[in-house]
Amino acid sequence: MRTYQRLTAVAATLLLLAPGARAGEVVRIAVATGLKRTAVFGSGLTMLALQEGATPVSLPNGRAAVALAGDGVTVNGARLAVPAATFRATGPLRTGAVDISLWQGELEVRRAANGLTVIHSLPLEDYVAAVVGSEMPPSFPPAALKAQAVAARTYAIFKKLESVAVGRPWHLGATALDQVYRGARVDPRARGAAEATVGEVLAYRHAPIEAYFHSACGGRTERGADALGRDLPYLASVECGFCKRSPQHRWSVRIPDAELGKLVGLANRVRHARVIARTASGRAERVEFEGGGRQATLAAVDLRQRLGFERLPSLAFDVHSTRGAVEFEGRGSGHGAGLCQWGAAGAARAGEGYRAILARYYPGTEIIKMY
């Protein structure tokens, strides 16, 4: 791990010391994985098998049906000599793998250990604009959108360096496990934020940071070590106080006691529940449940995963038993580390610029212009 971290830091330093060298940067997004079959559509569709000397093949009907076949891959019933192919079109591309109707760039379908992976390749700045529009309401103030653009660009560069180091053929996924990406339809305000910050990344000791972000912290962010197991100096717990407009600034969730008993591994209904350990920011770390003469203790992170991340919005909660249910009363939404998106919006409304916003949520970092 230390060797990998050193290599990543060296590669990142070289990257940042070469202004203009990365203006044409491309990212590869795994938009679907583990498929048995899929289809690619587009006007003027062509296919290029990924092998030396291959030439593009025109697909007159504008459709490519891709499927697993033994240890290989077929396209429209014909077996390929290699386990991957790239598709391009004269207009927008579509795939049946995911519910995204518009793609720019190219799509690659590649056989992997768990099935077919669909990879979308596109320019980094187009990707940043799309992530801003997917991760943050375009109605947020411009300074908040710019802060999100810098964070999204930085995270993408970090993940690309990581993928190169481990030999992964794609850089990021398309879900909240990485950054939400929904394709090429981009709100002009999100596009403007990407263009206004083009080439800017957050760096710590000359290397792009792991720029995590979340919806709303509820008043104070969480340490990266407690939220994500990432003990990084720039993912510190900091005061926020700007996210009060978040619809989940304060929330309450009731879980039927019988349902919760099954989820936590008790044979009976939960009769008593309490938080028995908290992190330094006050978020739940361990939770104890009692019922039917038995006890069950869970890490709060595990509890949230079992209940569902949307159902239990964050770990900043108190818990108590009521008639027929267990009630969680909490604040904020998400893991709590890094940029608080609703906090960024509140700070922007208070007159802060995007640089000041980023300095608050990622202390000790600096913004470096890559290109």
User: In this prediction, what percent of the chain has a pLDDT beyond 70?
Assistant: 91
**More confident position, 181 or 204:** 204
Alpha carbon distances (Å) from 37 to 32, 34, 92, 115: 11, 9, 21, 9
In the chain, the largest separation of any two C-alpha atoms, in whole Å, equals 71
The residue type of 329 is E
Give the pairing type, strands 366-369 and 284-291. unpaired
Average pLDDT over the chain, rounded to an integer: 90
Asked if 249 contacts 218 with a C-beta cutoff of 8 angstroms, the reply is yes
What pLDDT, on a 0 to 100 scale, did the predictor assign at position 176?
A: 86
Mean pLDDT of all residues in 123-141 = 95
Higher pLDDT: 346 or 41? It is: 346
Is the pLDDT at 222 greater than 50? The verdict is yes
Q: What is the pLDDT of residues 277-317, one digit of tens each?
A: 999 999 999 999 999 899 999 999 999 999 999 999 999 99
The number of beta carbons lying within 10 Å of the beta carbon of residue 357 is: 27
pTM over 0.75: yes
pLDDT of residue 77: 92
Question: What local confidence, expressed as pLDDT, does residue 23 receive?
Answer: 56
